[in-house]
Amino acid sequence: MKTMVEIAHSFLSPALHRQAVCVDATFGQGKDTDWFVKRKVGKVYAFDIQEHLIERRKNDFQSHVRLIADSHASMGRYVKEDVDAMIFNFGFCPHEDPSVTTMPSESVKAIGAGLKRLRIKGRMALVIYPHQFGKQESEAIEAFLKPVDPHIVSIQKVCGLNIHTGPYAILLEKRKEWK
Ligand SMILES: C[S@@+](CC[C@H](N)C(=O)[O-])C[C@H]1O[C@@H](n2cnc3c(N)ncnc32)[C@H](O)[C@@H]1O
């Protein structure tokens, strides 16, 4: 079976092409950025609040990958063009300080900023961990997205049937302008 990250990648794949603009909203060790680069997209913006994670990998990429040591909630300040594909992999970075984790209100703000930047037909994938520490975040994200008009953003949730605290994915495709 596919992992939730693999499901997120499969969902984003049709939105990728040689000129595609992509956002990795939670860089961490850079696996999602690596995935975008392997698919030969046009540009990648990658965000993480942990500067040392960005520093660690800054020489691994060419100039079409922009690593940004700032919160994804501020992405509107850095990304001024329409985005084709965006991924958020919430929570904390494995093998790093687990207290540095994504936070509910910042995550909701970032998803809103991302939806504004996403082009029509652009795709966003969220991988969410509703365990003890991510439960509040998971609830905040769902409360934000549930009332969204499906004619504006089409949204699906993919989750395990018999695992209640394991990761799940929310997949979004923008249909009309998001205000
Ligand atoms: C689950 S990890 C991401 C894993 C990553 N995609 C990878 O391939 O290794 C979550 C990351 O989000 C980062 N993070 C936490 N709050 C953030 C924020 N407000 N803006 C951007 N990144 C944030 C953490 O520092 C952590 O590295």
Ligand 1: residue of 93, 101, 105, 127 to mutate (most ligand atoms within 8 A of CB) is 93
Q: What are the boundaries of each domain within the chain?
A: 4-174
Residues 6+ apart with CB under 8 A from 61: 33, 37, 44, 67
91: nearest Cα among 1, 171, 4, 2 = 4
Cα–Cα separations (whole angstroms), residue 111 to 34, 39, 47, 154, 174? 22, 23, 13, 14, 12
Q: Write phi, then psi, for 24 (nearest 5 degrees).
A: -100, 105
Ligand 1: residue of 102, 128, 129 to mutate (most ligand atoms within 8 A of CB) is 102
**Exposed (0-12), middle (13-18) or buried (19+): which is 74, by Cβ within 10 Å?**
middle
State in Å: Cα 92 to ligand 1 middle: 6
Q: What is the pLDDT of residue 131?
A: 82
pLDDT tens digits for the chain (179 residues)? 999 999 999 999 999 999 999 999 999 999 999 999 999 999 999 999 999 999 999 999 999 999 999 999 999 999 999 999 999 999 999 999 999 999 999 999 999 999 999 999 999 999 999 887 899 999 999 999 999 999 999 999 999 999 888 899 999 999 999 88
Question: Which amino acid does the sequence have at 98?
Answer: P
State in Å: Cα 1 to ligand 1 middle: 25
CB 107 within 8 A of CB 43: no
- Ligand 1 atom nearest to CA at 129: 1
**Exposed (0-12), middle (13-18) or buried (19+): which is 167, by Cβ within 10 Å?**
buried
Please give the Cα distance from 13 to 22 (Å, whole number): 11
Q: What is the pLDDT of residue 163?
A: 85
Residues 6+ apart with CB under 8 A from 118: 82, 83, 84, 86, 124, 174, 178
Q: What is the pLDDT of residue 179?
A: 80
Q: What is the pLDDT of residue 85?
A: 98
**pLDDT tens track for 59-70:** 999 999 999 999
| The CATH number, out of the four listed (3.10.20.30, 3.40.50.150, 3.40.190.10, 3.40.47.10), of the domain defined by the range 4-174 | 3.40.50.150
Task: Copy the structure tokens of residue 163.
Answer: 């695992």
- Ligand 1 atom nearest to CA at 53: 27
State in Å: Cα 26 to ligand 1 middle: 4
